[in-house]
Chains A and B, each alone.
Chain A
Amino acid sequence: MNKLIIEKKPILRIQNLFVSYEKDKYAIADVSVDIKKNIITAIMGPSGCGKSSLLRALNRMHELYPKIETRGKIFLNDKDISKLSNIELRRKIGMVFQSPNPFPSMSIYDNVIAGYKLNGIRQKKAKRDEIVEKSLKDVALWNEVKDALYKKGNFLSGGQQQRLCIARALAFQPDVILLDEPASALDPVSTSKIENLLVKLKKEYTIVLVTHNMAQAARISDYSMFMYLGELIEYGKTKDLFTNPSNKRTEEYLTGKFG
């Protein structure tokens, strides 16, 4: 595995990560990689290559399922994430899922502030309003929903709901946002809105994006990983990876020979 010369300080360091769903069957085998700050890193690869498993290891989602075993170390800003509490870790690393999943029982306002509310973090009303407004403005949803903040979000389109979910993750002001194929359930217009949004957001946040859409990775990511059968095959600047892949399997995948 080739490691690149690092210009920016990495925000996430993954060392010898293994994830297994069954004994001795690894979804991720010995992955070590540094993820740099304030850029978009795309994780690509065919179905079942471990890209989602890698992403979910970053905020310890795996530990909810006792059968899944994780080994290796992950550092966020030089702190071992296994030593952080759930709430600390997930305040710093937010997550957006494949299909939009706003809380159906809550209003748009409550959805954005849900992380604070559900964790019992008290805040003055003015501060809450400020967080909601900023988060919704960050995802370019404010103008569309500002008159319906206290309504339930089920009248929103899929794309709007997904942006609401991104706003919910942003409300915590995380360091890193993990996105698991955030646009795969959306139409092209909504997809391009989300993509533009992510490019804008990288000024403030570090973004890790799982995608099986190679064009999407090429369009918006700065760095790309190519994974295959649980291994990290290639990692580098997206431009280099797409124009001049150093590994044969990367090349084959990118040219559509398999995947």
Chain B
Amino acid sequence: MSKVQKPDKGSLKGNDQRRAAKNKIFQALVILFAFIATTPILLILFELIRKGMKQVNFDFFTKVAPDSWEAMTAISQGKVIPGGILNGITGTFIMVIVASIIAIPIGILIGIYLYEHGEQRYAGILRDISDILQGAPSIVLGIIAYIWVVKYITHGYSALAGSASLAIMMLPLIIRSTEETFKMIPVSIIEAGLALGVPYHKIILRVLIPTGLSGLTTGILLALSRVIGETAPLMLTALGSPSVSFNLDKPVNAVPLLIWQFYNDPNMVNLIWSSSLFLVALVLALNLIAKQIAAKQK
């Protein structure tokens, strides 16, 4: 056999065969790696359901987290741990609501600005900052919320501080999705409004936002699902609380914080799984709804 095969006419058929073989190999590799990548996800889901399901009952959603003693007694008697994660659910709920109230209007306004004046220098800087913010470690944003809110506004750990840290995390996601959504709306729709003599701000409010509503909603839902599982910034801001609290001024708990607290208590291990299952299901549901809305838009 010669060392180098010259591409002469005689070897064309061999070339074809080699190409087909290469294609096959690549196809097999793609399928293999896709399988390898998705297996852990399925395993995690399976594990969560297997270990978490037995703790999920009515009490799980309506009672606050038990203390260590209750849990230990229950385990020693071979019973299901009493109590649930109500303090975490309400805390997460209230912080996500407040974070949305802060982040959605600001994010959409900045998104509109970037869409409008995308080529300006200041817009470019703003877009870069938003990208950096998106990549910033969440614990750093927690520290910032700690310095701004915990130290100077609420003078102590509080739901408001937790909301602020989550809002900072939501902002870049909403800014980007707003800009991208508006970019997809044909300019001719805007011109149709202008040709009717409609002032520009009204076109944004009454034409652009309703037209892009599903895109905006998708972006907001994805941002929510991103922050709903955040733990690190909440450790420095919301701190956690053993009871249900709706006071923005006071510390509250959150589902991811509860998971961390359960982890630190050997008697509560079973609750880790059920809380994690709840959190994953919530995020999954948000993502699926977002996908549905996005699909409808097309």
B interface majority secondary structure: helix
24 residue pairs A–B, Cβ–Cβ below 8 Å: A61-B195, A64-B194, A85-B197, A86-B194, A86-B199, A89-B197, A90-B197, A94-B196, A99-B186, A99-B188, A101-B191, A102-B192, A103-B193, A104-B211, A115-B197, A115-B198, A118-B196, A118-B206, A118-B207, A119-B199, A120-B202, A168-B192, A168-B196, A172-B196
Contacting pair A95 B211 (CB below 8 A): no
Q: B residues 166-210 with Cβ under 8 Å of A?
A: 186, 188-189, 191-199, 202-203, 206-207, 210
Residues of B within 8 A of A103 (CB): 189, 192-193, 207, 211
Taking CB as reference atom, which chain B residue is nearest A98?
B188
Contacting pair B198 A59 (CB below 8 A): no
B193 CB, nearest partner CB in chain A, Å? 6
Residues of A within 8 A of B211 (CB): 103-105
B134 CB, nearest partner CB in chain A, Å? 29
A162 CB, nearest partner CB in chain B, Å? 12
What's the Cα separation between A172 and B195 when bound, in Å? Answer: 11
| B147 in contact (CB, < 8 A) | no
Residues of A within 8 A of B202 (CB): 118-120
- Decide: A97 near B210, CB < 8 A? Known: A59-B195, A115-B196: no
Q: A residues 95-129 with Cβ under 8 Å of B?
A: 95, 97-99, 101-106, 114-115, 117-120
Q: A residues 58-96 with Cβ under 8 Å of B?
A: 59, 61, 64, 85-91, 94-95
Residues of A within 8 A of B191 (CB): 61, 64, 97, 101
| B213 in contact (CB, < 8 A) | yes
A122 CB, nearest partner CB in chain B, Å? 15
| A43 in contact (CB, < 8 A) | no
A110 CB, nearest partner CB in chain B, Å? 10
Best-surrounded residue of A85, A86, A89 (most CB of chain B within 10 A)? A86
Contacting pair B195 A118 (CB below 8 A): no
Taking CB as reference atom, which chain B residue is nearest A114?
B196
A93 CB, nearest partner CB in chain B, Å? 9
Residues of B within 8 A of A102 (CB): 192
Residues of A within 8 A of B213 (CB): 105
Taking CB as reference atom, which chain A residue is nearest B189?
A101
What's the Cα separation between A86 and B195 when bound, in Å? Answer: 9
- Decide: A101 near B194, CB < 8 A? Known: A86-B199, A118-B202, A118-B207: no
Residues of B within 8 A of A98 (CB): 188
A148 CB, nearest partner CB in chain B, Å? 19
- Decide: A97 near B192, CB < 8 A? Known: A90-B197, A105-B213, A119-B197: yes
Q: CB < 8 Å: which of A88, A95, A106 contacts B195?
A: A95
| A165 in contact (CB, < 8 A) | yes
A75 CB, nearest partner CB in chain B, Å? 19
Residues of A within 8 A of B194 (CB): 61, 64, 86, 90
What's the Cα separation between A168 and B194 when bound, in Å? Answer: 13
Taking CB as reference atom, which chain B residue is nearest A105?
B210
Contacting pair B188 A101 (CB below 8 A): yes
What's the Cα separation between A91 and B198 when bound, in Å? Answer: 10
Residues of B within 8 A of A114 (CB): 193, 196
Q: CB < 8 Å: which of B189, B193, B197, B206 contacts A91?
A: B197
Taking CB as reference atom, which chain B residue is nearest A93?
B195
What's the Cα separation between A95 and B195 when bound, in Å? Answer: 6
Residues of B within 8 A of A61 (CB): 191, 194-195
Contacting pair A165 B197 (CB below 8 A): no
Best-surrounded residue of A97, A99, A168 (most CB of chain B within 10 A)? A97
Residues of B within 8 A of A119 (CB): 196-199, 202
What's the Cα separation between A91 and B186 when bound, in Å? Answer: 23
B191 CB, nearest partner CB in chain A, Å? 6
Taking CB as reference atom, which chain A residue is nearest B198?
A118
Q: CB < 8 Å: which of B188, B189, B197, B207 contacts A86?
A: B197
Residues of B within 8 A of A91 (CB): 197
Give 9 A-B pairs besides A86-B197, A104-B189 with Cβ atoms closer than 8 angstroms: A87-B197, A90-B195, A90-B196, A94-B195, A99-B188, A118-B196, A119-B197, A119-B198, A120-B202
Taking CB as reference atom, which chain B residue is nearest A95?
B195
What's the Cα separation between A78 and B226 when bound, in Å? Answer: 61
Contacting pair A118 B188 (CB below 8 A): no
Closest 6 CB pairs of A and B: A90-B197, A105-B210, A87-B197, A95-B195, A115-B196, A101-B188
Best-surrounded residue of A86, A87, A105 (most CB of chain B within 10 A)? A105
Taking CB as reference atom, which chain B residue is nearest A64?
B194
